[in-house]
Structure 1
Amino acid sequence: MSLNKYYSAAFIAFFIWGFFSFALKPLHNFASLDILFYRVFFSVIIMVLVNLFFRQNIIRSNWTNFKNCDSKKKKSIVVLTLGGGVFLTLNWFVFIYVVNHVSVNAASLAYLICPILTTVFAYLILSEKLSKWQWGAVLMSVFACVLLSLDHFGDFFYSLIVAATYALYLVSQRKNSEMDKFLTLTIQLVFTAIVLIPFYPKYSGAVPTQPLFYGFMLIIVVLFTIIPLFLSLYALKGINSSAVGIMIYINPIINFVLAIFYYNEQISSLQYVSYFLILIAIVVFNYKALHSTKSNVIPPEIEGSN
């Protein structure tokens, strides 16, 4: 099985997400909750239809495999799948709020922090080992974040929530490898929709009537939700969290450049220094991963599921 396709999947996913603000900014007049509601509901409709019409054999195969698992394994699959749905929903809502009501720069910072948090959570939850150099990089990034919080505590606080929720999603889904990735994502979004439905009547605004809303929502659902989420989950089948972490940096780099040159957001000297420290930490943290990709291969899993 070629390693390149897993790296390509991760690269494409985070490259696409780097331009997410292009689809979100035109909807800044709409409430963050409304964008979340329609993003989830429309995603569920499209993904359920794709599964029902084009992937019936895969559904039957996965259901058979699930029934043949012991009770402990079944519980693990259910908890990881539904728990992933919770983390994903929280990440979406906070990210949408940050882009539209805080700053694109804060969203960029979130995905600079995310790779470090992903590995720390993997160490704490999955008992993955970290080298002394990697711990040094973690401490360096923490120091940079403290510098940012001195002048922009609000940005840092929201960035940390965005980063933590997505890091927890990635770590939880690393262990959730028994089922087809597209089907897993569909179940997570269906679960998310079920959780959100009771809140929709009370917390949603008036049903949007502007064609602009539905046009950009379709772009968000297909281009910035279904495609990159599937690609990122697929990448976790063949490369470990450090390798995926390298690709995550594509997202904030694009966001940071857009914040400065396209959205004309003001960046202070302290922010430049902090970002520079984080970039150094990124290089130090991933030095070995960048020079030993062969060690990042995960033992073959159920390839037939995708």
Structure 2
Amino acid sequence: MKKYNYYFAAFSAFFLWGFFSLALKPISSYPSLDILFYRVFFSVFTLTAINLIFRRKNLKKNWEDFKIMPKKKRQKIIILTLVGSLILASNWLIFIYVINHINVKAGSLAYLICPILTTVFAFFLLHEKLNKWKWTAVCISTISCVLLSLNHFQDIFYSLVVASTYALYLVSQRKNSEIDKFLVLNIQLLFIALLILPFYPSYSGAVPTAPLFYMCLFCIVVLFTIIPLFLNLYALKGLDSSTVGILMYINPIINFTLAVFYFKEEVSLLQMVSYSLILISIIIFNKKVLFGKKNKSKVIVQDSKSI
């Protein structure tokens, strides 16, 4: 029964993230930089409060573990954490800009191709191996991107930039596993906040006074940042990363559905074909996870029957 709880947690996290555009679109009149400022500041405040109030034992344990680590490992953790914070900040800013000033479909496409780009970056940067099925999926995804760029170069360009920054963030953090992930995120956001704080007086607009802005910001910080991260951390306790990775595609599928049926964005036949190719590439890419376990379970059932 507990296994289903892990699946439900992962599903709920990506299901929530799929509706992120609903909180961004109502405040699209505000500059993207302002939204980033307030998202970072409010997220840091909330995450720090959670860690200091509810996770003090965890903080103490992580600090003790960090102090006894070799110097090189400590330096590696610090570099990966700070570099990751810079990549994450750029991803957030570009994503907000794309959703509010390009279109929702571009944001949806970004997170459809993100898992493919993550694997390609991991192949070149971390020297992880790819089998023929995964290379086939990468090629199909590339073809779909080329098709989309024929008439919508701006969309595909921004989608690739968003996907690339998030993929680089994931790859950079794969080797940053010695410290609690939630604490790492808190440190990264705190570092981002300290970096952008000097620019806030010069580059921010007037302090928002409309209640709608703070209502949407509250949703962004709580519903689309804090809660999904907690659910993801809980899910990863009982599920492997590949299973959680498959469930990630709930997010862009909901995004694309909202773009077509709620925001009434136009979708051409070429775009539909391209998105279909991406979905096919996703299935091929995760062939072993999607179908391998099923076949394995059948073998186990057959063996149990023979016994």
TM-score normalised to structure 2 length: 0.90
SS of the residue 2:179 aligns to? coil
> Per-residue deviation at 1:12?
2.3
Q: What is the correspondence of 1:74-153 to structure 2 with a 5 Å cutoff? A: 74-153=74-153
* Deviations, residues 219-238 of structure 1 (Å, cap 9, x unaligned): 11011112223444565566
> What amino acid does structure 2 have at the position aligned with 1:104?
V
Using the alignment, how far apart are the partners of 2:236 and 2:80 within structure 1? 14
One-letter amino acid of the counterpart of residue 209, structure 1: T
Query: Identity of paired residues, percent?
Result: 64
- Superposition pairs for residues 9-88 of structure 1, below 5 Å? 9-88=9-88
- Unaligned ranges ≥5, structure 2: 295-307
Structure 1 residue 5 displacement after superposition: 5.5
How far apart in 2 are the matches of 1:85 and 1:235? 23
Supply the AA of the counterpart residue of 1:149.
S
User: Does structure 2 retain, via aligned residues, the 8 Å contact 1:122–1:171?
Assistant: yes
Q: Using a 3 Å threshold, how does the CA distance of structure 1 residues 72 and 9 change in structure 2: closer, same or farther? A: farther
Cα pair distance change 1:276/1:140, threshold 3 Å: same
Tell me what 2:304 maps to.
Answer: none
Deviations 1:123-148 (A, max 9, x none): 22222211111101101100100010
Question: Partners in 1 of 2:200 and 2:49 — Cα distance?
Answer: 22
CA distance in 2, matches of 1:293, 1:91: 34
Distance 1:58 1:17, change over 3 A: same
- 1:246 deviation in Å? 1.3
Q: Does 1:184 find its partner at 2:184? A: yes
* CA gap 1:69/1:169 in 2 versus in 1, 3 angstroms: same
Q: Given that residues 185 and 230 in structure 1 are in contact (C-alpha distance below 8 angstroms), is that contact kept between their aligned partners in structure 2?
A: no
* C-alpha contact (below 8 Å) 1:177/1:237 kept by paired residues: no
Q: CA deviation at 1:9?
A: 3.8
The code of the aligned residue for 2:24 comes to: L
Partner residue in 2 for 1:298: none
Q: How many pairs are equivalent?
A: 293
Q: Which residue in the other structure is 1:262 paired with?
A: 262
Residue 207 of structure 1 aligns to a residue whose secondary structure is coil
CA offset digits 1:168-187 (Å, max 9, x no partner) = 12222222211122211110
Between structure 1 and structure 2, the one with the greater Rg is: 2
CA contact (8 A) 1:181 1:234 kept: no
Deviation, structure 1 residue 195: 1.1
Q: Which moved more, 1:250-259 or 1:79-88?
A: 79-88
**Alignment CA distance shift 1:4-1:178 (3 Å):** farther
Q: CA contact under 8 A between 1:148 and 1:271: conserved in structure 2? A: yes
Letter in 2 for 1:246: I
Q: 1:12 to 1:169 in 2, by over 3 A?
A: farther
In 2, Cα distance between the equivalents of 1:156 and 1:256? 14
| Counterpart amino acid of residue 134 in structure 2 | Q
Structure 1 runs not aligned, ≥5 long: 295-306
Where 1:279 maps in the other structure, the secondary structure is helix
TM-score normalised by length of structure 1: 0.90
- Give the whole-Å Cα distance in 1 for the aligned partners of 2:175 and 2:16: 25
